[in-house]
Amino acid sequence: MKKATFLLILLAATTVVMLVSCASTIRHNAEVAEWVQQGDFRFQRFNSFMELQRIRDTPGSFDRVRILEGAAGSEQDIDRAIAAYEAALRLAPSYREIQASLANARNVKQQWIVDKPVAGKTDIDGRWTAQVAQVQTVQAQRQQEQERQQQEQARQQQEQARRQQEQARQQELARQQQEQERQQQERARLQALQSPSSTPNSPNDFDIANSALGGVKITKYKGTRTDVVIPETIDGLKVTEIGESSFALNYYSTSNPTGIVTIYRVVLPSTLIQLGRNAFCMQPLTSISFPASLRRIGTAAFYCNKFTSVVIPNGVTFVGQSAFESDTITSVVIPPSLVNYNMQGTIFYDSDSDLGFSLAFTGTESGNIFSTSITRITLPANVHTRNLNNGELRDAYVGNGSKAGTYVWTGRLWVVE
């Protein structure tokens, strides 16, 4: 009997606990639901408020405006909706629907802060004019930005024009400087030609060495005179040889690695026997007189000088390849001492046994083995035909029985004058 009574009491107590728990859960859920409903209500009123602001001045929206004016709330409704959702979320932190509603409300508020119209006033027709002012402000800002961009573009164009003008000015200054240097060189050249000096240069103007021919070999000109008179003796010995590149302005290029000054006139000594390779390479000499003592003229000795005529003295037995390479020479005189031909050397090295003048008068144009500027050449009798690189000239010479004479180019044929 006591056991049955105890069970009944336990059952009753359990029932009471369950009823109390259910009541608590119901109250909790009801409170959550109430906060959510309040948040939804405030959110809806705020949406109506926002729509009203957007369409208030829109033509044809009168009826919709009247409906929204009865349902719309105020700007504060969004804050109240957020507060209600936050209260509900504190009671039920794991409810995803409440989390999503709160996030959406916060996003809508943030967007409203960015996009809301400027506060304005309502005119007598009930039209809200703040948006018109905002549109005008935006348009003015855009106009100002366009003007700023146009001004910046104009500034950049002016800067570019200024840079181009500066570049043109620098180029003009460089051109004027080059012209001044050219005029100075021309004046020095004319002075050297018009007022030639007969006074020999100082022996100290030359680097020298012993020559295998006997006497002195000049190895480099280091003077400053542009009108050069080479002395016949230096240190008591005859000047018999002008060495390789000793007066060269440069070596087949536009730079001046030799450090030698530009020479416009040179007087060779009467004791000279041999002119070495590249001796006066690239110097702008326009004429020269060779001494009767001369026997050999090395390869490229007067490469790209400015001669218009060349007279080789009798006694010279060898003139190297490209010795007078030029497109300015029109007249050449070959002596009887150059009739033989024997080429054992190469373009890089003249052999002591070399004879003749094959390829001595090449043109500057690539592959031109006989300068096309030459229109008059005086030849002795019995010149070895290997010396005559121009095929038409060789045929005319052989056709004339290899006789001595002056051969002239008519523009079509070589004829004996």
- Encode pLDDT of 287-329 as tens digits: 899 999 999 999 999 998 999 999 999 999 999 999 999 878 9
Whether the CA torsion 123, 126, 131, 136 is positive or negative: it is negative
Q: Positive or negative CA dihedral for 145, 151, 155, 156?
A: positive
Q: What is the spatial distance between Cα 209 and Cα 276, in angstroms, rounded to a whole number? A: 14
Q: Which two tokens stand for residue 14?
A: 């359990």
Q: What is the mean pLDDT of residues 206-225?
A: 96
- Extract the tokens encoding 286: 């326009």
Could you tell me the two tokens for 1? 């009997």
Q: Mean pLDDT check: name the lowest of 134-143, 275-284, 373-382.
A: 134-143
pTM of the model: 0.55
pLDDT of residue 192: 62
* Cα–Cα dist 24/31, whole Å: 11
pLDDT in tens, 69-124: 666 667 788 888 888 888 888 888 888 888 888 888 888 888 777 776 654 444 43
Residue type, 27: R
Q: Quick one: angle between helices 2-55 and 96-115, nearest 10?
A: 20
DSSP 372: T
- Cα separation of 29 and 39, whole Å? 15
Domains of the chain, residue spans: 2-116
Please check whether residue 232 is in contact with residue 201, taking contact to mean a CB–CB distance below 8 angstroms. no
| Pairing relationship of beta strands 233-234 and 227-229 according to DSSP bridges | unpaired
> Which positions ≥6 away from 28 have C-beta within 8 Å?
91
